A and B are shown apart, each in its own frame.
Chain A
Amino acid sequence: MIPASFDYERARSVEAAIRLLTERGEEAKLLAGGHSLLPLMRLRMATPGLLVDLGGIRELSYVRRSGDDLAIGALTRHCDLAANELARADSPLLAHVAGQIGDPQVRHRGTIGGSLAHGDPASDLPAACLALGASFLVAGSAGERRIPADEFFRGFLETALRPDEVLVEISVPRHAEAGWSFQKFTRRAQDWAIVGVAAVSDGSTRISLVNMGSTPLRATAAEEALAGGASAEEAAARAADGLEPPSDLNASPEYRRHLASVLTRRALEECAAVT
């Protein structure tokens, strides 16, 4: 199907994008790789009046070290992140997760910034960022601010970004030595996770879940159990405590809870094996 008509502007800089967002208010939408937004627009589930295309801002595609962090430009494509040597060395979880998204065509277009700003609980990078303790640099008409990943995902497809803000950079602590694991359960090639688990352990362990609620989220009950001395198996049994996973064609909530426990156990075992 064909999207409804819209105006289209190519932003040459982040400042230009913010200006356009400020002028046009809620009817304006940023366009990065388009691999979440265009499918919605084709189904007419999104009908923005203006698309502000960030695609030409090449300076927003980078991976570099910044003190103890790895800094990733918001327009870095999944394929570039997956193949990046620095990312593979300093944040192997993030590079690995980027390489598990969709299929090669999707990874040639989709960007990390778009994936995070879309706020889809079924997406992989948001969960990875939660497990890594990432933070996001955003810029708007009121200036820049940094938002911790834990405060970013607010509701279904809803984030802490204001309508005039652009996600500029993602920072993750460098953790070459940490244990990590990403468990993505799918039934078909190319698909989103039915349930996914990302875990990072370096002293303490952070666990996050894909497709287990209305936002990407942490498995806090399992994390607390581990911190209190529980075994991987005991902690994994609590992975879905307090969560309300969705029901869809692929899985019932009960099945998702079961998957969350099994995958969390595998993730914790893999974390222990990596360290």
Chain B
Amino acid sequence: MRVSLTVNGKDRADEVEPRLLLVHYLRDVLGLTGTNIGCDTSSCGACTVLVDGESVKSCTMLAVQAEGTEVSTIEGLASDGVLHPLQEAFREHHGLQCGYCTPGMVMAASSLLAEHPHPSEAEVRVGLEGNLCRCTGYHNIVKAVLSAVAP
């Protein structure tokens, strides 16, 4: 089955099996391995990408369901070698340790800030509840996201 969409601003069209999950399309067909897979139960959020600007768990969406959409992954954030402010904030505030959850965390945070440009600390914590981190204890992730809020 043919699927046409844009990924990080580039037009793509590929022949895929209907059962191909969006995350496998991104990783295995397009080679965008920044998006991770952390669970089998749609719970961890490591696979979070943006579909038309909104955070989605790409392990719980078929590639064919993304027909006609604009998908953004962690690879699309930095431009010309300059990190996105959220990526810079995660680095500055030690918002990552092993880094496995980070791509999903950053994409979820970018969706959160698009919907709530000025969240409180509590809103950041609830807004990231779909993303599990086994290393940081979340504290520095929350700090990083709050520091990236536009004044």
Contact = CB atoms under 8 A, between A and B. Distances in A.
Interface string A1-29: 11111111010000000000000000000
Contact of B56 (A5, A53, A109): A109
Interface string B17-59: 1110100100000000000000011110100100100111101
A51 B18 contact: yes
Contacts of A42: 21, 40, 59
30 contacts: A2-B19, A2-B21, A7-B18, A8-B18, A10-B67, A31-B65, A34-B62, A35-B60, A38-B62, A39-B41, A42-B21, A51-B18, A55-B65, A56-B67, A103-B129, A103-B131, A104-B55, A104-B108, A104-B112, A105-B48, A105-B55, A105-B108, A106-B42, A108-B54, A108-B55, A108-B56, A109-B56, A189-B126, A189-B129, A190-B129
A43 interface: yes
Interface residues of B, number: 33
A102 interface: yes
Given A6-B18, A8-B64, A105 B40 contact: no
Nearest to B18: A8
B46 to A, nearest CB: 11
A105 B62 contact: no
Secondary structure at the B interface, as helix, strand, loop or mixed, is mixed
Nearest to A110: B60
Size band of the interface chain A makes with B:
20 to 34
Interface of A: 1-8, 10, 31, 34-35, 38-39, 42-43, 51, 53, 55-56, 79, 102-106, 108-109, 189-190
